């Protein structure tokens, strides 16, 4: 479905990614792990089009999209749940969700189905997004991305800052999403959580891929070495 080949990325003069190769198949679940500053979020931003790259560095369904604007990437079927949720504070919960569907992609995800996945959002649908708890905001951000009916869902640190009980709720919902065949790339600091919820792990260190393999087959020591470089 997605191929990333020799991807480099810069923030001004600072280089964040160095020749990254990455791919994901239709319906696959892949975790990106690595320490802060490893380049995980930069890779997701590049795939989603919020950080432009060279045209042929990213190919989705056979189409080069490295230089395609983010709005067009979303219409093609890639949705990002950004780190920090980034909900629209001036909109209600339901308005935030509906904003995700403005690209008019057809698919199984409707407002009603999102409310079935996250019942508490139905109860809060007329409330401002800023009135939600951290966990509820994360659910709203995931729901907004699903409303775009993506073929590929990019999730950046969806457990960050949440209580353990809330993390379980969020991941239980994500499991339901994946059970329907949704392809997901998941940035996660908790390596054990990443191993238990994905099929494959890719580790980044200083903007380079240091390890890639099946989640259940990779040894903890190998992941630790790739994670920290020691």
Q: In what order do the strands lie in the sheet with 2-11?
A: 14-24, 2-11, 58-60, 63-64
Using a 10 angstrom Cβ sphere, with 0-12 exposed, 13-18 middle and 19 or more buried, the burial of residue 61 is middle
Kindly list the structural domains of the chain, giving each domain's residue range(s) and its CATH number in brackets, ordered by start: 2-228 (3.40.50.300)
For 230, the enclosing helix (H) or strand (E) is none
Q: What tens-digit pLDDT sequence spans the chain (230 residues)?
A: 999 999 999 999 999 999 999 999 999 999 999 988 999 999 999 999 999 999 999 999 999 999 999 999 999 999 999 988 889 999 999 999 999 998 888 889 999 999 999 999 999 999 999 999 999 999 999 999 999 999 999 999 999 888 999 999 999 999 999 988 899 999 998 888 988 899 999 999 999 999 999 998 988 889 888 988 76
The pairing of strands 183-187 and 200-205 is unpaired
| Exposure b/e, 116-135, CB count within 10 A at least 16 = b | ebbebbeebbeebbeebeeb
């Amino acid at each position: 479905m997605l191929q990333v080949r020799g991807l480099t990325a810069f923030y001004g003069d600072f280089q964040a990614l160095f020749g990254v190769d990455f791919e994901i198949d239709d319906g696959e679940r892949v975790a990106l792990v690595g320490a802060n500053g490893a380049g995980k979020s930069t890779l997701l931003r590049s795939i989603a089009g919020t950080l432009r790259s060279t045209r042929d560095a990213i190919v989705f369904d056979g189409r080069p999209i490295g230089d395609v604007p983010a709005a067009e990437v979303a219409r093609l079927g890639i949705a990002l749940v950004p780190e920090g949720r980034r909900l629209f504070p001036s909109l209600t919960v339901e308005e935030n969700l509906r904003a995700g569907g403005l690209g008019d992609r057809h698919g199984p995800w409707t407002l009603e189905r999102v409310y079935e996945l996250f019942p508490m959002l139905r109860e809060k649908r007329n409330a401002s997004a800023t009135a939600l708890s951290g966990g509820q905001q994360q659910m709203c951000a995931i729901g907004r991305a699903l409303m775009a009916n993506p073929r590929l869902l990019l999730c950046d640190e969806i457990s960050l800052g949440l209580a353990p009980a809330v993390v379980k709720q969020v991941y239980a919902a994500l499991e339901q999403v994946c059970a329907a065949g949704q392809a997901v790339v998941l940035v996660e600091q908790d390596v054990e959580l990443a191993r238990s919820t994905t099929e494959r792990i890719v580790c980044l260190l200083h903007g380079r891929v240091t390890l890639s393999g099946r989640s259940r087959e990779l040894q903890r020591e190998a992941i630790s070495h790739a994670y920290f470089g020691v």
